[in-house]
Chains A and B, each alone.
Chain A
Amino acid sequence: MQLINASKVTLALAGKTIFNQLSFTVEQGEKIALIGDSGVGKTSFLNLVCGLHEPLKGSINNQAKRIGYVFQEPRLLPWLTVSKNIEEVMKPYGFSAYERQQKVAELLTVMQLAHCTEYYPHQLSGGMAQRVSLARAFAIEPDLLLLDEPFSALDKRLRNQLTKYLAQFLTPQTTLIYVSHSPEDVLGLAHQCLVLQHDHQYSWHQLDTDQQCQALLDNFCSNKAH
């Protein structure tokens, strides 16, 4: 089933064209890595997909009913406790109070944050806050999960740990678009990769085999070096 269909989309922000005639489709359950240098429009791509940005021309049709979004920074509401931060996003999706409490307890236990339910965000470390942000995205059982370099500010050990949690929660039905400027983080999870470039060019790459991943990685690194 086709989840997202974009046709000849042009996106301009503050007078600057970010995408020109961008067309793509995403099937349900696809796992897509989105890579590119800083400033090519990776975050804008996600914002376009989830409806935060409106295209100047063209159209984008997103069938996803539940969109989970993990931002670069945790973006937890500072006046709500950890459990309330997660529970609150579940309310619009029809979860009962009991289901919400159960889900929050389950997610925080898996994320090893069961002792932090009544903490406020300023009482958490960066890694803990990002784990809560990840739990919040999974709490709504998303059919589309958008990750915008969620672990870029964390050290290697925490990145690996959170990638492990991510893989644990992803179901075959969940569509994933994972943005990163370090491809080695995302290639293990993705089936295909969209590479964005500064001149509004973009290319799709299949990542079915390790050789394809390695080739893309080498290509990306050599382009960066130039």
Chain B
Amino acid sequence: MNVRTRHYLLQALGLSLLLLCWQWLSGVLSPMILATPLQTVMRLAQLLLTNDFWQVLLVTLVRLAGALSIACLIGFVLGVCAGRRPWLKHFLEPLRWLLMSVPPVVVVLLAMLWLGMGSSMVIFITVLLLSPTIYINTYKGIEQIDRHWLDLATIYKFSTVQRVINIYVPAIAAQLCATMVVVCCSGVRIIVLAEVLGAHKGLGYELANARGNFDTNELYAWVLVSLLLVAILEFLLLRPIQNKLLRWKNATN
């Protein structure tokens, strides 16, 4: 058995154990509190056949894509600049500390006050809470880049774009990929939280509705959707990007 097969088997075993625990708990607890895995999947199957489900999913996906793109852009650009210019790092430090220390629910409440309910509020909160994580990991990575590569770029007159593509991104790729996994997972959580508290549409809004209607099966079906969303992001988007960026490490003669 090769290493990869072994890893897949272990992951399948872990997942089976979680499902068994869920099944057991749903037998012990009231159906009002916890739906069984089968009830959840059945309800999800029903939802999949409706147009509303896809519209709700699209709203959340657009918000997620917009928020992640803006957060990545701000976090990465500021991280690269701060990594190269220590004065900027010191200048931004209080803001970074503030954004990383304030509880998310406080940001949600303030954003609702400033921007009202809807997409702009959800995206604003997500950007505000995620960009510091990307920023800090980027500048820490940039600071640790081998000085020799930067000297090489200076001598051979690399443009800024060349430096970013050929030195900064590949040099911090491993760290950046790990950060992106954390950021994407947190992104889904924050978007859903913001939608529960202050949106008229979206996955979080449907969760809140299902809870309000005491529809436990639908509540867990939406929870399952949010989990699948994270899985899709991690395994179908981030993993291939990571493999592409780090493929040089696996090259053999």
Residues of A within 8 A of B (CB): 47, 50-52, 67, 69, 71, 75, 77-80, 88-89, 91-93, 119-120, 122-123, 140
B251 CB contacts on chain A under 8 angstroms = 119-120, 122-123
What is the bound-complex CA distance between A52 and B162, given in angstroms?
Answer: 19
Provided the pairs A79-B170, A88-B162 are in contact, do residues A52 and B151 lie with their beta carbons within 8 angstroms?
yes
Q: Which of B149, B155, B162, B171 is the one whose CB lies under 8 Å from A69?
A: B155
Please give, as numbers and ranges, the residues of chain A lying within 8 Å of B166 by CB-CB distance: 77, 80, 88
Q: Which chain B residues lie closer than 8 Å to A119 at the CB level? A: 251, 253
Q: Hey, which chain B residues are within 8 Å of A47, CB to CB?
A: 151
Interface residues of B (CB under 8 A from A): 148-149, 151-152, 154-159, 162, 166-167, 170-171, 173, 245, 248, 251-253
In the assembly, what is the distance between CA of A89 and CA of B167, in Å?
A: 12
Q: Are B167 and A123 in contact (CB under 8 A)?
A: no
CB pair B252–A89 under 8 Å, yes or no, is: no
Chosen A-B contacts, 25 in total, with CB atoms closer than 8 Å, are: A50-B155, A51-B155, A52-B151, A71-B148, A75-B152, A77-B167, A77-B170, A78-B248, A79-B171, A80-B166, A88-B162, A88-B166, A89-B158, A91-B159, A92-B156, A92-B157, A92-B159, A93-B157, A119-B251, A119-B253, A120-B248, A120-B251, A123-B251, A123-B252, A140-B156
| A194–B158 alpha-carbon span in the complex (Å) | 31
Give A52 to B171 CA distance when docked, in angstroms.
21
Query: Pick the contact of B156 from A78, A89, A123 — CB < 8 Å?
Result: A89
**Which A residues touch B159, using CB under 8 A?**
91-92
- Is B162 in contact with A92, judged by CB distance below 8 angstroms? yes
A120-B248, A120-B251, A123-B252 in contact; A75/B158 too (CB < 8 A)? no
Complex contact B156–A52 (CB within 8 A): no
A195–B57 Cα gap in the complex (Å)? 73
State the majority secondary structure of interface residues on B. helix
A89 to chain B, nearest CB (A): 4
Bound form: Cα–Cα A47–B155 in Å: 9
Contact of B155 among A67, A79, A80, A120 (CB under 8 A): A67
Complexed CA–CA distance, A67 and B171 (Å): 24
| Least CB distance, A140 to chain B, in whole angstroms | 7
Which chain B residue has the least Cβ–Cβ distance from A140? B156
B residues less than 8 Å from A69 (CB atoms): 152, 155-156
Known: A75-B152, A88-B166, A92-B162. 10 other contacts (CB 8 A): A50-B155, A51-B155, A52-B155, A69-B152, A69-B155, A71-B148, A79-B245, A91-B162, A92-B159, A93-B157
A122 to B171, CA, bound (A): 15
Nearest 5 CB-CB pairings of A with B:
A79-B170, A89-B156, A92-B157, A79-B248, A120-B251
Least Cβ–Cβ distance between B184 and chain A, in angstroms: 23
- List A contacts of B149 (CB < 8 A): 75, 77
Q: How far is the CA of A200 from the CA of B253 in the complex (A)?
A: 48
Given known pairs A52-B155, A119-B253, the reply for A75 and B148 (CB within 8 Å) is yes
- How far apart are the CA atoms of A91 and B252 in the complex, in Å? 28
Closest A-chain residue to B154, C-beta based? A52
